[in-house]
Amino acid sequence: MKLGLHLLARISLATLALLVLPATHANALSVIASGSISRDPDQTYFEIDIVVKDAKTGAITGTETSLFTNRIRVYIPSFGTGPNDYIPFDGTPQLPNVPFTISEHAQMSSVLNSNSLYDLTFHAQITQTKAGVITGLGKQVIITVKYYENPQATPAEDPNRVINKTSEIVSDAPTGIAATGTHSSLIINWTVPTTVAWTEGKTKAPSRITVLAIDKTTTDTDLPAYIYNSVAPSDTAAGGGTCTFNADFTDGDQCVTCTDENAYLDRPKLEGLATKGIFLRTTDKVTDGKFSIPGLENGKPYAVVSFYEPGGLKRSSCVTGTPEPNTTLAELNGEEPASLMDPKCFIATAAYGSPLHKNLKPLRWFRDRVLLKTTAGKVFVSWYYEHGPRGARFINEYPALKPVVQGVLWVPVMLLSAWMAVAGNDPQLIVIVFMAFLAAMITVTFVARKTREEA
């Protein structure tokens, strides 16, 4: 009887322990891969995300690069299934039977989960080392991903994961395109979309936006394009004349037309047509709503048209933009080109109006060779960017100050020009030029304050 009570008590205590104590997660480590392959026939890589669940606390020791290279192994079984047939890391010896390399394209993230373990996410880019390999994969590729907690442990594995080639592309067009001319460039703005229409009835955000600036005097009006085919693993090149540019348009109309409704412009080929007067910029930061296209000719009109990617079965309406030989004071001191959405960059022609072109080179040279190479110079540039806009707005309010400011800036500009001519690095001259420029800025500030007090 006593033995029975003893046994019952032990069983009850064990049951209570199971109810009260937290559950242990033996061998809970897991790994899952996901991704897709672009339909672009010229694409040379594809990206995958590798999510590791319930990694131990010690799993995040070491550098990010060492975690990726020491713990992650990715195989494409069709190119080998041996233990050493994993895709080699970028910068390491290549395998003759595995025509790919792998690298990280974004920073790894780690999150402490409710089990007091870590969930890790690696962002990998798999790049072909031989032309045409990705196109030859067809509509999908099968990969196997392994994650090693340590070299001796049995890895967590996601076997035979299917990575599909995307079957849909964007069928919508960007809106709100505006082009503003600045020195040798166009500032492009567009309406930021939340979602846009895709083929196959889908609606989601576009992957990127591409903007073309086409010289309106160009005589080569044929644009390279592809024909979309949702059931094929990749799209075919369109014949000549499928998509053409028409320079005779009214702003708000179409200037790029395609005879096939399934045609979309071939960005990789367009990127190489600057010699034919076609300039391009593309970004995956669609939500920025702005960027500039540099390297254009002042005074020449350009047709501006844009499209979303992947694909882009519709193009935006076209507008004309003309780079103008005017440079803001911020640009003279090395700021990014002016933007409609960043008023500090529109210290527009405050002192120069129509700027003195000969002043651009020495001022930028001074910024690069002197100011940004010293701590004091960097502090001064930051101070100028912070306070310059107020001075510029004040000068615009009182145009009579423009010749005064131009005169004040004349001395440092001439000294800089002389300095550049001899390419000297005389410390005393550096101090003289810097103090002259600083004196010019202090003078502007003082005159502005005095004028405001007397007004």
CATH number for 117: 2.60.40.10
* In-domain check, residue 442: yes
Residue 353 CA to residue 399 CA, distance in Å, equals: 10
Residues 6+ apart with CB under 8 A from 410: none
Tokens of 422: 């001899």
* In-domain check, residue 414: yes
Provide the pLDDT for residue 11: 39
Residues 6+ apart with CB under 8 A from 270: 212, 223, 224, 278, 280
Final residue belonging to a domain, choices 288, 321, 354:
321
Final residue belonging to a domain, choices 321, 356, 391:
321
Q: For residue 299, count other CB atoms closer than 10 A to its CB.
A: 10
Provide the pLDDT for residue 260: 93
Provide the pLDDT for residue 351: 46
Provide the pLDDT for residue 418: 64
The reply to whether 315 and 364 lie within a common domain is no
Provide the pLDDT for residue 440: 65
pLDDT mean values, one per 10 residues, the chain (455 residues): 45 40 57 85 83 77 69 91 89 88 87 87 92 82 91 87 87 92 84 91 89 90 90 81 92 93 90 89 86 87 93 93 66 47 35 45 64 69 61 66 65 65 54 63 68 65
Residue 181 CA to residue 397 CA, distance in Å, equals: 23
Final residue belonging to a domain, choices 321, 347, 382:
321
> Which of 444, 430, 431, 428 is CA-nearest to residue 393?
444
User: In the 8-state DSSP scheme, what is residue 232?
Assistant: S
Give the model confidence (pLDDT) of 268-303 as tens digits: 888 888 888 999 998 888 888 888 888 888 889 999
The reply to whether 343 and 231 lie within a common domain is no
Residue 361 CA to residue 332 CA, distance in Å, equals: 8
Provide the pLDDT for residue 386: 59
* In-domain check, residue 18: no
Residue 428 CA to residue 106 CA, distance in Å, equals: 46
Containing structural domain, residue 406: 329-454
Residue 120 CA to residue 33 CA, distance in Å, equals: 12
Prior bond of 399 cis (ω within 30°): no
Model confidence, pTM:
0.53
How many domains in the chain?
Answer: 3
The reply to whether 158 and 247 lie within a common domain is no
Provide the pLDDT for residue 396: 61
Provide the pLDDT for residue 128: 92
Residue 1 CA to residue 264 CA, distance in Å, equals: 87
Asked if residues 340 and 290 have their Cβ atoms less than 8 Å apart, the reply is: yes
